[in-house]
Structure 1
Amino acid sequence: MLNDVFIELPVNSTVKWLNPAPYWETDIGLCRIKPASETDFWRETYFGHTADNGHALLASFSGNVVISTEIIFSPQQDYDQAGLMIRLSDKNWIKFSLELEPDKTIKLGTTVTSQGVSDWSGEIIDDISMPITLIAEISSGACLLSMRYGDGLPNTVRITPFIAVKSGDMWAGIYAACPRQSGFVANFENTSMRVIK
């Protein structure tokens, strides 16, 4: 069952695929996704194109939640990416992910898409030899994004507005994409979503 990927979920949460990957497998607390070629999430800014065909396994929620996942990242092609997705619609979403850049650095990138326009920021990640945990706290009309190396303390990366809507309209979970050539497999472990006050 898809619900097994999440070690914790809000009561009555529904889990579904947005654009199922050609290859994926799940177990309790584990998900592996091999994205198809030419997949991504992006809208308009700078590049002038829109892509909404990345692969995301999302759980419904309402109110305030924290979602987190542990990623083992072994990219092969430029722009291979894996991380968290928070989504209201195709024009309003956030992706928070690890991504391989053309200069072969790994960046922790945040794309905030509002009213159909994407805004990206990123910082270099020096070490992906250990698991990296990505965390998104969605509360009080905002989203606080942070990351953690191994068992270390979380480090805040970005705070951005994110307006909650009615129950059933909000989704969050894990995603992966290969804007160029397919080949890498994204490994997610200990994904959870818990309600907060």
Structure 2
Amino acid sequence: MTRVAWESGHWTNPPVSAERDGDALVVTAAEGTDAWRTTAYGFVHDTEHALLAPFDDGTAIEVAFTGDFIGDFDQAGAFIRIDDETWIKTGVEFSDGVLQLGAVVTRGFSDWSVAPVPHWAGRRITVRASRSGDAVAVRARVDDEPFALIRLAPFAPDAVAEAGPFLCAPSRPGLAVRFESWTLGPADESLH
């Protein structure tokens, strides 16, 4: 995996601040930011802070980060975007009083899958998205534990896409996430 320079990405929506701390990037989200389209709630939010760069077929990105996720729906991880209506966000989100690991896959309408990971709170989380053919495989881990597959999603093989770190703070000001690394490399050879 090769480091992606923070400066090589562009923001979908600028955060309150993004400051270098050595090799890391510490980003503070604006209150009321989120990414969601219609399903169950009836609203569309396109206010996420995603730092994106090209994401070609046959490649994988990894985003490693830490944060104090304590507000309802505080979230961070990786964002993969084709356009306003076609994207994936994956990582952790504070929901129902506990840190959750999950993904939202959006193709016109958003879906949402989560599983509780309270033991991940306060630890380094890494999300890996691997693009190969007609799919994106999403894996995640905490610290140096093995990656676990959390989602396999359909993805148009000829789509021009971008990907990178993201965060949102739907319910509060002050969410700061320390993105320790953003790397790019070859796609995973298999799902298992």
Q: Same fold (TM over 0.5)?
A: yes
Residue by residue over 1:23-82, the C-alpha shift from the partner in whole angstroms, topping out at 9 and shown as x without a partner, is 111356421111111110000000000000111101113221111111212123101111
Rounded to whole Å, the distance in 2 between the matches of 1:173 and 1:47 is 26
Gaps of 5+ in 1: 1-5
Aligned length: 186
Distance 1:28 1:92, change over 3 A: farther
Is 1:56 aligned with 2:47?
A: no
How many angstroms apart in 2 are the aligned matches of 1:89 and 1:195? 23
| Runs of 4+ off more than 6 Å | none
Cα deviation code 1:139-194 (max 9, x no counterpart):
1110111111211111111111111335xx31000001111111120111121012
TM-score, scaled to structure 2: 0.89
TM value normalised by structure 1: 0.87
8 A Cα contact 2:68 2:122, kept in partner: no
Is 2:141 the partner of 1:148? yes
The equivalent position to 2:157 in structure 1, one of 158, 164, 172, is 164
Q: Paired residue for 2:112, among 109, 117, 120?
A: 120
Counterpart of 1:137 (choices 104, 112, 130) is 130
Q: Which structure 2 residues correspond to residues 175-186 of structure 1 after superposition, within 5 A?
A: 175-186=166-177
Q: Aligned with 1:117: secondary structure?
A: coil
- Deviation for aligned residue 1:7: 5.0
Match of 2:180 in 1: 189
Identity of aligned residues (%): 31
Query: Do 2:91 and 2:140's aligned partners in 1 also have CA atoms closer than 8 Å?
Result: no
Alignment correspondent of 2:70: 76
Equivalent position of 1:3 in the other structure = none
- Partner SS for 1:66: strand
Rounded Cα–Cα distance in structure 2 between residues aligned with 1:141 and 1:26: 35
CA-atom RMSD, angstroms? Answer: 2.1
